[in-house]
Amino acid sequence: MKIRTIEITGFGRWTNTTIDSLADWQVFTGANEAGKSTLKAFILGIFFGFSLRGDQKYIPRSGAQYGGALVVETKTGRYRISRINRTKSTLTVTNLDTGQVEADAEGFLTELFNPLTQADYEQIFAFNEQDLSQVSQLTGPDLEKRLLTYTEPQAQNWLNWADQEASQGQQLFSRQKTGKRPLNVANQEYQDLLDQRQSQADSLAEYLENDRQLSQIQGKLTEKRREVEKINQEIQEKKALQATWPLFEELQATRHGVGQQRPAANVNEADYQRGQKLGLDLNWVNQQLEQIQQQLQAQQKRRETVQQDDEIAGILQAIRANSAILAANQEKANKLTGQLTRFQQYFTGPIPKPLTRRQSALLERTNPWVATAIVSFVALLGSAAIIQSVLIQSPLALATIGFAFMASVRGQKAHKIRADYAPLSVATILSSQDQVQKAANAQNELNEGVKQQQLLIKELVHDLQDFDAKKFAYLQTYSGIEDIDRVLVAAKDAMASEERRPEQAVSDRVRLDDMLHQQQTLIKQKDQVQADIQELLHQTGLTDLKQLAETLQEQGGQAAKQQRIADIEGQLGKATLAKLGQYQSLAAIETAQSQLAQSRQQGQDELSNLQKQQQDLQVRQASLVSAEEYQALTQKLANAESDLQEQFAQYLTASLLPQTLKTAFSGQDVELSTNVTEQAGDYLARLTQGKYNRLILTDKKVRVIQSNGEEFAIGELSTGAIDQVYLAVRFALVKSLPLKEKLPILIDDGFVNFDASRREEVLALIQELAVDQQVLFWTFDEANPTGSQQIKLGEING
Amino acid sequence: MLKFIHAGDVHLGNPFTGLSQHLRTDFQAAIQKATFTALDRLVETAIVEKVDLVLFPGDLFHGSDNSALIQERLLQAFRKLDQADIWVAVSFGNHDFQQSQLAHPTWPDHVMVFDAKVETKEIMVRSGDRVSLTGFSYSDRFQRQSALPDFPVKDSQLEDYHLGLYHGAIGQNGEAYAAFNLDEMVAKGYDYWALGHIHIRQVLHENPMVAYSGNLQGLNRNETGPKGFYLVSDEAGLGLQAEFRSVAPVVWENLAIADCPDLATLQEELSARDFNETTLLSIQLTGTVGQELRENDSWGLLLEKLQQSCPSSAKYWPIKVDLVKPTEADVKPVQLPADVALDEAIAATVNAENIGQLLSEQVPIEVRDYFYSKAGQEDLQSRLQRLIAERDPNEN
């Protein structure tokens, strides 16, 4: 490839500048700041892109558009390579022969320089004085690597392949944490699985805690079951005790019977017989006494009845007498009443009272006050007619009125009397005064009779009720005179019921005496029998005859009772008896049993509760140990790890491949003597004018051989000599590299430190190189090297 | 008379390693519970055979990282044994050393656990014989001191049988796993040495027997074949003799098939085989391998296709298919210059430092540890070798 035209729209000091018809051996001359380095930077920028930071200093001062183009000749034709703008620059490659624009401009350039990168190109093909001075800083291995990388075509081929493999390998994994390449993703997935499994593994602690609790509950359950079982046994025992309680009771009673027997008593059959007889005797006497007593009581009763009869006779007597009086009184009253009734018929009103003497006089004499009044009146009239004197006439008038009043009062009294005696005349009235007086007496007598009757009736009623209260109870309310007939009827009734037997009293008295005698006799007999009984009891030590029989019977059944006690004791056993002995009653056992049943229920509830807890824990435990989760995750992790291992092995294999091959090829010391080293040796000999004529690499170190055969390490050489070694190697590389295109060499004031003769040698060498490939050489030295074309930059208007 | 079970390295609840996530569901289920099933079978045998005791000489658990399920299953197993009046002796090994410090459910009275110090426990078995058991538990992942010197010599006057439980490997003192000397072990005069730690079943010494029962269930494709425990008894009158009982419900197998022309033939060959247990199969195709198989292998599709064509009723599941090259020459990348020292370059490149620069903390520690380990680096080395060998020269 050769650069024929440089077109700059804007780059550093250059604006709209075209430099064309560049020669194969092209020299650019110019003083400092003439733009020599700028041109070189422009060319590199077009080929490999403008460096954002480094090329900032090349922003055109004119303000023209940054960039430009190169026209190059290649094996495949002429191309115009244009790159415009510093940032986000646009690269365009146009085939000038066909006019076609390359679709993949970057690819075109990569292919053009393949396998060199920008760094490779700059290191080998483009250099300045500064680059050469840096050579001294390179170590042997560095230099060796740089050299080796490009010395051997076959190795290069392998290395290219290795780089491609490595590049593919790099697509699998990024060392950046944020990488999204397949292995980065797989790593994350693996980590997620680990986390999941970790969270599962945390359940181990819970499992162990559950297990501890389960063990505790198991212990409690066992203990509780034992307790409940014990309670059950006790309940069964209590039931058995209940069943045997009647026997126990019998035993207690029997024991009690045996215990109650009086050991002092000594009763035999004769005592018993005697006791029996005395008992019978006593009974007989008592019976007799009782009979007598009854008879005596009956007699006494009868006597009391006789006494009652006497009292009643008195009452009846009174009744009889009072009723006779009452009847006579009644008769008299009736008679008086008849007389009065008849006398009353003479009068219109009731019978009047007899007149007093005054009243009789009133009727018998005329009224004197009338005449007096008339006289007074006449006197008045007379006086009035004679003398009209008040002193006279007023007393007369008053006397007249007074006399008139007195006359009127006397007249009214007489009238009243006549009215009471109506229809009798005054004469009759006066003549009948004896009859009227008799009538008045009769009326008084009648009134007295009635009062007496009332007293009698009251007394009769009292007596009658005394006589027979029940029978005459109805008389209680009768007290008036109007009831007289009924009371009399009742009195008759009472009197009629009374009869008397006076002879009975005598016989009763005789009989009573007999009975009292008999009673005395019996009492004596009884005392005797009782004395006998007391003696017998004293002898036997008993308190009553009844005990005689019991004692005799008890004595007879004692053996049987003892046997029964032994039987029951045997049947129940000592242990049961001891237990039964703890209870006062069957109810006490039942209470104890009931309490036990409650305890059992409580125990069973606690058991259920514990079993529930146990079940819950077991369920939880089962869920914690479910095989599908943890074990599946574990295996999945192992599988993922296996896959990761495989993929990382691929990644690592590919990534390690380039270094492996470099190492492999770097071992070829012998190979290094070929081509480049030989060529470099030749160039070095020329550049050092034969002082050093060979260059070798042994033990991975660069050695330089002097003409006398002496070897020097790089570090042992002078700075100038090192420059020459490096230059020789570079030129040897340029010459030897198996590239598709022979690329232009760019040298920017590279030999300023060289003395004139060595500089001449270098330029001569370059001229040779320029036969095969273009050399662009920038220098301030205007001495035109042989065979070169010179462009004076100062003459170009940029 | 004495009868017991020796079961080393149960690794209860430990997942199978080296399996892909693409696993048939029923296999997944069987694998998840495989160690539990194996333990249940052991318990069943113990009860049926009326053994006197069961010895677990280390690594009963896989590690401290266990679950409620693991604890529960073990507890149930212990309870069953306890109910059958069977003693259990447990010592912890390098994997489960932390168990002695961790909480676990209350184990039945018949379970004896050995302390970090060597100790002897004495029991009387059904026959009336006095049995002494000596053992110890690891207190750390590594036990660099041999515990054997602390094991007492058998006293025949006082004991009818003396059994040793030892988790470790033959070696020199100072090595990681309680290294012991076999002659010294035999010299103790014990009637049986129940060893743990090595997962491959093997008898180190006859009369008295010193043996590894191997693990109860194979857990990766290196642990192939039937796995189980030793049923030890002197019923035959020849001293204590061990009889292997296979109980692992899942078996890892390697199978080599020669000159297989195509996928269908391979599938037929596999289907024609009889597998007693659920089997995880690693297949090596040897001899002349047909083009279809080779192509699928190079595209990385062979295993997947084989799994897809596996009948649903099959008791096997292919987990790996390798084409075994007939000679070493085939492995050598012909394209490389003859003097390129590839092996050395690979060995120099594959190291912890270089690997560490390519990984980050995001990569699971288990994965990182694997690649820092010798096994992981050997894996990478062989992969690099294979990658370079199989490079298509026309590729670039």
User: pLDDT category, A135, cuts 50, 70, 90?
Assistant: low
> Residue A672's pLDDT is what?
45
Per-residue model confidence (pLDDT) at position B210: 97
pLDDT recorded at residue A68: 94
Q: Do the chains contact at A157 and B396, CB–CB below 8 Å?
A: yes
DSSP assigned state of B200: S
**Residue A371: beta bridge partners?**
none
Single-letter amino acid, residue A533: I
Contacts of A202 in chain B (CB under 8 A): none
Decide if pLDDT at A525 tops 50.
Answer: yes
Residue A560 resides in a domain? no
* Contact check, Cβ <8 Å, A648/B367: yes
pLDDT per residue over B329-383, tens digit each?
Answer: 444 444 565 556 788 889 989 998 899 989 988 899 989 999 999 999 999 999 9
Residues of B in Cβ contact (< 8 Å) with A632: 28, 32
Q: What is the pLDDT of residue A506?
A: 65
> Taking 50 as the threshold, does the pLDDT of residue A384 lie above it?
yes
In a domain, A207, yes or no: no
Range of the domain at A409: 353-420
Q: Dmax of chain B from CA atoms? A: 81
Is the domain spanning B3-248 CATH 3.40.50.300? The answer is: no
Cross-chain CB nearest to A208 (options B105, B367, B391): B105
pLDDT of residue A700: 55
Within 8 A of A215 by CB-CB distance, chain B residues are: 106
Q: In the prediction, which pLDDT does B396 show?
A: 46
Residue A606: predicted pLDDT: 93
Query: Quick one: closest CA in B to A200, which residue?
Result: B67
Residue A183 lies in a domain: no
pLDDT digits (tens, 9 = 90+) for A559-592: 678 888 888 889 888 988 998 889 888 899 999 9
What's the mean pLDDT in B6-13?
Answer: 94
For a pLDDT cut of 70, what percent of chain B falls above it? 94
In a mutational test of the B interface, the residue from A160, A660, A661 whose CB has the highest number of chain B CBs within 10 Å is: A660
- Whether residue A189 contacts residue A640, with contact meaning beta carbons closer than 8 Å, is answered with yes
Q: Which of A709-723, B77-91, B223-237 has the least mean pLDDT?
A: A709-723
- CA angle, B127 as apex, B125 and B130 as ends, to 5°? 50
Q: What is the mean pLDDT of residues B266-274?
A: 91
CB contact under 8 A, A641 and B366: yes
B346/chain A closest Cα distance in angstroms: 6
What is the CATH classification number for the domain harbouring A788?
A: 3.40.50.300
Q: Write out chain A residues lying below 8 Å of B103, CB-based.
A: 208
Virtual torsion, Cα A294, A300, A305, A307, nearest 10 deg: 180
Above 80 in pLDDT, residue A312?
Answer: no
Query: Does residue A348 lie in a domain region?
Result: no
Q: Give mean pLDDT, residues A379-392.
A: 81
> What would the two tokens of residue B249 be?
């419900």
Percent of chain A, pLDDT > 70?
89
- Residues A626-677: pLDDT tens digits? 656 778 888 888 889 999 999 999 999 999 999 898 888 765 544 544 677 7
Cα–Cα distance between A201 and A84 in angstroms, integer? 62
Question: Considering its fold, how many domains does chain A have in total?
Answer: 2
**Cβ pair A177:B13 closer than 8 A:** no
Produce one character per residue of A661-680: b if its CB has 16 or more CB atoms within 10 Å, e if not. Answer: bbbbbbbbeebbbebbbbbb
Do residues B151 and B188 touch, judged by C-beta distance below 8 A?
yes
Give CA separation, A725 vs A553, A683, A684, A717, in Å.
157, 9, 6, 9
pLDDT at A444 over 50: yes
Asked whether the beta carbons of residue B364 and residue A165 sit closer than 8 angstroms, the reply is no
CA atoms within 13 A on the CB side of B232: 28
Domain contains A365: yes
Min Cα–Cα distance to chain A from B46, Å: 24
Contacts of A646 in chain B (CB under 8 A): 20
Closest in B105, B346, B366 to A211, CB measured: B105
Of A204, A638, A655, nearest to B358 by CB-CB distance is A655
Asked if A627 and B69 come within 8 Å (Cβ–Cβ), the reply is yes
Residues of chain A contacting B32 with CB distance shorter than 8 Å: 627-628, 631-632, 634-635
pLDDT-derived band at B321, boundaries 50, 70, 90 = very high
pLDDT averaged over every residue in chain A: 83
Query: Mean pLDDT across chain B, nearest whole number?
Result: 90
Under DSSP, the state recorded for A101 is B
Contact A211 B75 (CB under 8 A): yes
Out of A627, A640, A660, the one facing B21 most closely (by C-beta) is A640
Pairwise pLDDT comparison (B177 vs A266), residue with the higher score: B177
Mean pLDDT, residues B84-107 taken together: 89
Q: Which residues of B are less than 8 Å from A631 in CB distance?
A: 13, 15, 32-33, 67, 69
Of A420, A445, A473, which marks where a domain is finished?
Answer: A420
Task: Give pLDDT tens digits for A687-698.
Answer: 888 888 887 766
Name every chain B residue with its beta carbon within 8 A of the beta carbon of A158: 336
From chain B, pick out residues whose CB is under 8 angstroms from the CB of A652. Answer: 355, 358-359, 371, 380
B19–A638 C-beta distance less than 8 A: yes
CB–CB contact A161 B340 (8 Å) = no
In what side-by-side order are the strands of the sheet with B250-258?
B250-258, B278-286, B316-323
According to DSSP, the β-strands at B87-91 and B53-57 are: parallel
Domain ranges of chain B: 3-248, 251-389
Nearest-CA residue of chain A relative to B370?
Answer: A645
First-to-last alpha carbon distance for chain A, in angstroms, is 26
Calculate mean pLDDT across residues A176-180. Answer: 83
Of A375, A390, A420, which residue constitutes the final position of a domain? A420
Position A796 in a domain: yes
Residue A755 lies in a domain: yes
| Residues from chain B contacting residue A179 (CB–CB below 8 Å) | 362
Q: For residue A60, is pLDDT > 90?
A: no
Has residue A371 been placed in a domain? yes
**pLDDT value at residue A650:** 92
Which residues does chain A have within 8 Å of residue B20's beta carbon, measured at their own beta carbons? 639, 642-643, 646
Among A34-43, A151-160, B119-128, the least confident range: A151-160
A211 chain-B contacts, CB cut-off 8 A: 71, 75, 105-106
CB-based contact B23 A634, cutoff 8 Å: no
Task: Note whether A187 contacts B363, CB cutoff 8 Å.
Answer: yes
Last residue of a domain, one of A420, A455, A471: A420
The beta-carbon neighbor of A627 closest among B32, B65, B384 is B32
* B105 contacts A668? CB cut-off 8 A: no
CA A100 to chain centre: 87
Buried-state track B253-286, b at ≥16 Cβ within 10 A, e below 16: bebebeebeebeebbeebeeeeeebbbbbbbebe
Kindly determine whether residue A655 and residue B360, on different chains, have CB atoms separated by under 8 Å: no
How far off is chain A from B114, nearest CA to CA, in Å? 21
Select the residue of B103, B350, B363 nearest A648 (Cβ to Cβ).
B363
What is the length of chain A? 798
